[in-house]
Amino acid sequence: MQIVIVGTGYVGLVTGTCLAETGNDVTCVDCDRKKIDLLNRGHLPIYEPGLSELVTRNVTGGHLRFTADLASAVKKANIVFLAVGTPPSEDGSADLSSLWAVVDQIAPLLVPDCVVICKSTVPVGTNAKVAARLKELSGHEIDVASNPEFLKEGMAIDDFMKPDRVVVGVRRKEVGELLRDLYEPYLRTDKPFLIMSPESAEMTKYAANSLLSTKISFINEIANLCERAGANINDIRRGIGHDSRLGFAFLFPGVGYGGSCFPKDVRALAALARSYGMDPKILDAVHNVNEHQKTVLTQKIEQHFDGKLADKAIAIWGLAFKPSTDDIREAPALVLIDRLLELKATIRVHDPEALNNVRAIYGDRLVYCPKRDDALRGADALAICTEWKQFVRPDFAEMRRLMRQPVIFDGRNIYDLQQLKGTGFTYYSIGRSTVVGDGTT
């Protein structure tokens, strides 16, 4: 199989590399020359655990290459994956301009039996429009299949290699069989290969992300209520999670979901519903609850310091939208940083992987600390926005020594309330009572 992946980002690079790993001949294309140059010099433009070794092995083995020359790559391809970004437009709907730019470019170049596969998350009906556009520009029928991606950043290799399921949306049985053959090496443990229409495949992706987001917003709303009503969200989580109908997944309270998928996909599905004259009440509520949740840590900080942050230094641990990635798109930490900058606080940030991405936005307005504990030096408080494993077992006595005031605002509930009692820290978290410096709650 000669496979071309257009768009070499979090999804395209992982997809291309994993497909090369099973012996396919893969060319990853991107219009970002810097990205391609970096890859061709043996460096990765993103952080994803385990990816670097796989890329090196497959480039060395001759199965994987990178280019900015879309035309040359596509001319020989049997399969072209579209994995470009589909970010939100002003009104929340998916911005498909990158996708259409690629479709227009490749249409005249495709060999007659080439199959175009849409991996980007796109609104229902897009695959049909892509097929129509390709036919119009090429003068012949080209098969287009929907194959939404469900990988999670931070676990992307495992998710691709051992997916819970593969979903494909096709018009012709033969295209379904081609895709089944392509994915067969990854479905050895009898996980399902689900064939449906392109419309259903497109909708499946949005429905999955929206339901996961709904669980997060739900538990966050309950957590906020717990704080006011004197209940402990961790107990509630256990109490409901053991119900086999509910389970534990995605029921961790926090400072809201971020990343390049949940926020945009919930809004895009709501926009789709509106385009059909529907009022998407649940989706709007999920989004609004999340927007509010991104501000709860800031509110606690402002309350604690009586709104006077100008002479305060706040340390932030965790900037990526979740652990094990350098992705900061729509990360809750950015909302906190923006507000603290408005209040003229000094901000000392640490993240194991995302510092460079944050520096690219904020420049010299923040103090960047490559070492976790350096962020604490002279800080009046620590705010935790991402639950990196590196933050879970700190030396509280050493932290007290480094900080000017012993205060923690934990946006991810990574510590036990009991653990904090007796440390001298005042400890705020989400959906639980506050531990005051003298150990009372």
Q: 78 to 107, contacts with ligand NAD by CB under 6 A?
A: 83-86, 98, 101-102
Q: 109 to 138, contacts with ligand NAD by CB under 6 A?
A: 120-121
Q: Please tell me which residue in 28, 114, 118, 261 is annotated as part of the active site.
A: 261
For position 35 contacting ligand NAD by CB under 6 A, the verdict is yes
Residue range at the interface with ligand NAD (CB under 6 A); choices 2-10, 277-285, 354-362, 364-372:
2-10
Residue with smaller CB distance to ligand NAD, 29 or 414: 29
Residue with smaller CB distance to ligand NAD, 35 or 304: 35
State the binding string over 219-258 for ligand NAD (x if CB under 6 A, else -). ----------------------------------------
Smallest gap from Cβ 4 to ligand NAD, in A, equals 11
Beta bridge partners of 86: none
For position 44 contacting ligand NAD by CB under 6 A, the verdict is no
Smallest gap from Cβ 54 to ligand NAD, in A, equals 16
For position 261 contacting ligand NAD by CB under 6 A, the verdict is yes
Beta bridge partners of 166: 193
Q: E strand or H helix at 396, and its extent? A: helix 396-402
State the binding string over 136-165 for ligand NAD (x if CB under 6 A, else -). -------------x-x-x------------
For position 31 contacting ligand NAD by CB under 6 A, the verdict is yes
Residue with smaller CB distance to ligand NAD, 254 or 431: 254
Smallest gap from Cβ 137 to ligand NAD, in A, equals 15
Can you point out the beta strands (E) in 90-191? 115-118, 143-146, 166-169
Helices (H), 164-295: 173-183, 198-229, 233-241, 262-275, 281-293
Sorted by sequence, the CB contacts under 8 Å of residue 41 that are 6+ apart come out as none
Can you point out the beta strands (E) in 301-380? 313-317, 346-350, 367-368
Largest pairwise CA distance in the chain = 76
In the list 28, 29, 315, 375, the residue contacting ligand NAD (rule: CB under 6 A) is 29
Residue with smaller CB distance to ligand NAD, 101 or 231: 101
For position 411 contacting ligand NAD by CB under 6 A, the verdict is no
CA geometry: angle 20, 21, 22, nearest 5 deg: 90
For position 17 contacting ligand NAD by CB under 6 A, the verdict is no
User: Please, what is the angle between helix 262-275 and helix 198-229, to 10°?
Assistant: 120
For position 65 contacting ligand NAD by CB under 6 A, the verdict is no
- Residue 90 burial (CB count, 10 A): 6
Has 369 been annotated as catalytic? no
- 370 by Cβ neighbours in 10 Å (0-12 / 13-18 / 19+) ranks as exposed
Residue range at the interface with ligand NAD (CB under 6 A); choices 9-17, 138-146, 161-169, 243-251:
9-17
Q: Are 252 and 238 in contact (CB under 8 A)?
A: no
Smallest gap from Cβ 384 to ligand NAD, in A, equals 23
Main-chain phi, psi angles of 167, to 5 degrees: -110, 130
Residue with smaller CB distance to ligand NAD, 269 or 399: 269
- Go through 26-64 and write b for each residue having 16 or more CB atoms within 10 A of its CB, e for each that does not: bbbbbbeeebbeebeeeebbbbbeebeebbeebbeeebb
Applying CB under 6 A, the residues found at the interface with ligand NAD are 6-12, 29-32, 35, 83-86, 98, 101-102, 120-121, 149, 151, 153, 260-261
- Residue positions annotated with a catalytic role: 261
